[in-house]
Amino acid sequence: MKSALLLFMITHCLDMIDLFNYQRRKSSVAKIGNLLIGGENPIRVQSMTTTDTNDTQACVEQAERIIQKGGELVRLTTQGVREAENMKCINDALKAKGYDVPLVADVHFNPRVADVAATTTQKVRINPGNYVDPARTFKKLEYTDEEYAHELLKIEERFIPFLNICKENKTGIRIGVNHGSLSDRIRNRYGDTPEGIVESCLEFLRICQRESFNDVVISIKSSNTVIMVRSMRLLVEAMEKEGMNYPLHLGVTEAGEGEDGRIKSAVGIGALLSDGIGDTIRVSLSEEPEEEIPVAKHLCDYITSKVAPVTLPETPAKNFNYTHPTRRSTCQVGNIGGEKVPVVIVSKPSSMFEEPKDEEEVVIISSDKPQAPKADYVYVGSELPQNIDKKRRYIVDYGVYNELKEQHSDLMLYPIFPYNAAPFISHIQSDIKFLVLQYGADSDEYVACLKAHPEVVVISMAGKDNQLGRHRALVHDLMNHNITNPVIFAQLYMHSSEEQSEFLLEAAADMGALMIDGLTDGIWLMNAGSLPNAIVEHTSFGILQAARLRVSKTEYISCPGCGRTLYDLRSTIARIKAATEGMKGLKIGIMGCIVNGPGEMADADYGYVGAGPGKVSLYRKQECVERNISEEEAVDRLLALINRDKEEQKQF
């Protein structure tokens, strides 16, 4: 019975999502001020101010910078009634300057504030986890069915009057669920799971549906890209079952700054946008808010421009579960596949997939990236480099493999075959062989080849259009034929050294869904422009870490800051990173306030959370170990805590 139900759910979900051909999800339209979100309207981009909402001039100036960069909505925090009331002053000041961009009031903990904000602004964001439910304790609390139903009734009694105020004032709402602020009630009934996150959202959506309130946008956010994507996939499925089609807002919360923040955001947001999910997005960076807008716009433009002219007719694999994906079962070939972490391949200096360069690239990596990881394999074509490293693995063209192996028997060399050279695979002896395949090749031929040669690792190549669909289609064809050879996804880009940001975003977006789907045994990013090879190599590891597949450096879960931030966020991030960047595998949460702090840091090893003006609390996991430390000494106290724990671990 259970297996039949599961099969129905899988089939139903795949009916909604075309895995192989881009098609934007059909949603209803929400009217926010004069802005329409969802339906056939463009994907809207937005940001949030970091200024004190009581400071009208500062808010107007920052909102103006966001708008001038292309922001279509601006969100401001409203901790109390005073801030909610001042939203009208900010709105009036912007209109006096000729701007008609909707403002969004961000409300936590106080439903009364939401009521006031509904009269002073065009949209109110509420967080289900702290709208009515009591403050989170992260403790086990048992609810009987009657008690649980009573809590739901309390939500309804408080939420319906708010909806009536919104109807009267033509104010839209965003039901914004944050993974880090799930209520104890939800956690104890559903666990800290995507299912719990979705149910937290649906409790409010069902009320909106019953009350015929349609100007609703929904978001589900997490600092964990895997949870964020899976939760949103589940939400789409759940809404479809309940006859809902509200527009969706996407974002990876607490993504961080710089390249790490961009990669993490692109992995999560890109995975969903590539499946046609998402009507508005925000890229949350610990930088000036206006800097988020170009990143968001590039992601939207890049993904929506890749619509393929030809429909791929592939059938999804029967054992693939879109909403509950698991890693594809593969045989282990050397250090590739099986239970091994995904590998990284790089090209030096040219490859069979790009035009040869006149000069070998100079590898430069910035000095602020200590202990940069090295790729597992280096493709060198038909000629070994002069500065050969005997500790590294090299991939060479099959035509020269035997000769080079004979000359350098002490080196780790492995042959790679283009598809048309597949008949030669059996003529070469090697523990690991690589075969380049593209979707559309004769499956009868490569299926027979792969079944006969379990030592072959597939290199999936895709063109410039519909890369995701083509990569997926090839692997699903392998799965339908019960082929278990590992698959590495390869993609070629054309970026100059001035286009590093674009490369990061595009590569992370292209790989995002493939990694979340559980299809990835490795990645091979190539670039035919002037972008240094070291950047390509470094990005590959960053993408795998963003998808929680391979840890190669310290991870920082840092909020973008807002009007609630209680200390100098950016200088603090810089100080913590400078002191901890070499601590591979360590996760550190850096949160401006308590709203999402302990929850969003659920899987962080340590947390640094604003506790009051100039005050910071330190966490080990979700346990507060030092409270209300002065900002001046908090970073040093955090480092002392980390070092003390290290010493204690050495004793065991």
Tokens describing residue 154: 């309390």
> What is the Cα–Cα distance from 218 to 204, expressed in whole angstroms?
10
Q: How confident is the model at residue 134 (pLDDT cuts 50, 70, 90)?
A: low
Residue pair 282/251 in contact by the 8 Å Cβ criterion: yes
What value does the CA radius of gyration of the chain take, rounded to a whole number of Å? 26
- For residues 483 and 451, the answer to whether their CB atoms sit within 8 Å is yes
Residue 23 pLDDT > 50: yes
**Residue 5 CB neighbours (<10 A):** 9
Assign 563 to helix, strand or coil.
coil
pLDDT for 9 equals 44
pLDDT at residue 443 above 50? yes
Q: Which of 183, 197, 203, 247 is nearest to 226 (CA)?
A: 197
* pLDDT per residue as tens digits for the range 314-365: 899 999 999 999 999 999 999 999 999 999 999 985 444 443 343 333 333 3
Q: How much is the average pLDDT of 109-126?
A: 96
* Residue of 28, 48, 52, 47 whose CA lies nearest to 38: 28
Confidence band of 21 (pLDDT split at 50, 70, 90):
very high
Cis, peptide link before residue 532, omega less than 30° from 0: no
Q: Which residues, other chains included, contact 184 with Cβ-Cβ below 8 Å and sequence gap of 6+?
A: 133, 134, 136, 137, 138, 139, 141
Confidence band of 135 (pLDDT split at 50, 70, 90):
low
Statement: residue 550 has pLDDT above 70: yes
**Secondary structure element (H or E) that encloses residue 389, with its range:** none
Confidence band, pLDDT 50/70/90 cuts, at residue 43: very high
What length does the chain have?
Answer: 652
Residue 225 has pLDDT above 70, yes or no: yes
Check whether 261 has a pLDDT greater than 80. yes
- Please give the pLDDT value at position 567: 79
72 or 23: which leads in pLDDT: 72
Rounded CA separation 581/371 (Å): 9
Which run of H or of E encompasses 29? strand 29-32
Mean pLDDT of the chain: 89
User: 10 Å Cβ neighbour count for 57?
Assistant: 11
The reported pLDDT for the residue numbered 583 is 86
User: Residue range 406-432: average pLDDT?
Assistant: 96
User: Half-sphere exposure (CA, 13 Å, Cβ side) for 594?
Assistant: 16
For the segment 414-436, the average pLDDT, to the nearest whole number, is 96
360 vs 291, higher pLDDT: 291
- Structure confidence at residue 591 as a pLDDT band (50, 70, 90): confident
pLDDT at 160 over 80: yes
CA angle 375, 381, 386 (to 5 degrees): 75
Of 113-122, 437-446, 563-572, 615-624, the range with the lowest mean pLDDT is 563-572
Out of 5-19, 357-371, 485-499, which region has the weakest mean confidence (pLDDT)? 357-371
Report whether pLDDT(180) > 50: yes
* Residue bearing the bigger pLDDT, 166 or 466: 166
Query: Residue 15 — φ and ψ, nearest 5°?
Result: -65, -30
Distance CA 356, CA 359 (A): 9
Which segments within 408-486 are labelled E, that is strand?
412-417, 433-438, 456-461
- Pairing of β 44-48 and β 280-281: parallel
Transcribe 238-294 into DSSP letters. Answer: HHHHTT----EEE-BTTB-SHHHHHHHHHHHHHHHHHTT--SEE----SS-GGGHHH
What gap in Å lies between CA 608 and CA 593, rounded to an integer?
9
Q: How large is the average pLDDT for residues 473-494? A: 97
- Stretch among 53-57, 136-140, 148-152, 218-222 having the lowest mean pLDDT: 136-140
- Provide the angle, in degrees to the nearest 10, between the axes of the packed helices 467-480 and 443-452: 60
For CA atoms 348, 407, 376, 456, the dihedral sign is positive
pLDDT in the model for residue 3: 44
Q: How far is CA 359 from the centre of its chain?
A: 36
Read off the pLDDT band of 195 (50, 70, 90).
very high
The pLDDT of 181-198, averaged and rounded, is 89
Number of neighbours of residue 426 by Cβ within 10 angstroms: 11
More confident residue, 136 or 172: 172
Residue 303 scores a pLDDT above 60? yes
Rounded Cα gap, residues 78 and 52, in angstroms:
9
Residue 451 reports pLDDT greater than 80: yes
The set of residues, in sequence order, having a beta carbon less than 8 Å from that of 158 and lying 6+ positions away, is 111, 131, 132
The predicted-structure confidence for 493-525, as pLDDT tens digits, reads as follows 999 999 999 999 999 999 999 999 999 999 999
Q: Which two tokens stand for residue 597?
A: 């702090």
pTM: 0.91
Closest CA to 524 of 634, 411, 610, 395: 395
SS (H, E, C) 238-253: HHHHCCCCCCEEECEC
* pLDDT higher than threshold 90 for residue 458: yes
Residue whose entry in the numeric block shows the structure tokens 């009694």:
157
pLDDT at residue 622 is higher than 80: no
What's the pLDDT score for residue 545? 96
Q: Tell me what pLDDT residue 595 has.
A: 65
Looking at the chain, the whole-number percentage of residues with pLDDT higher than 90 is 69
pLDDT at 366 over 70: no
Residue holding tokens 């002490």? Answer: 410
Q: Give me 376's structure tokens.
A: 């597992």
Instruction: Taking residues 90-96, report their average pLDDT.
Output: 97
pLDDT digits (tens, 9 = 90+) for 403-418: 999 999 999 999 999 9
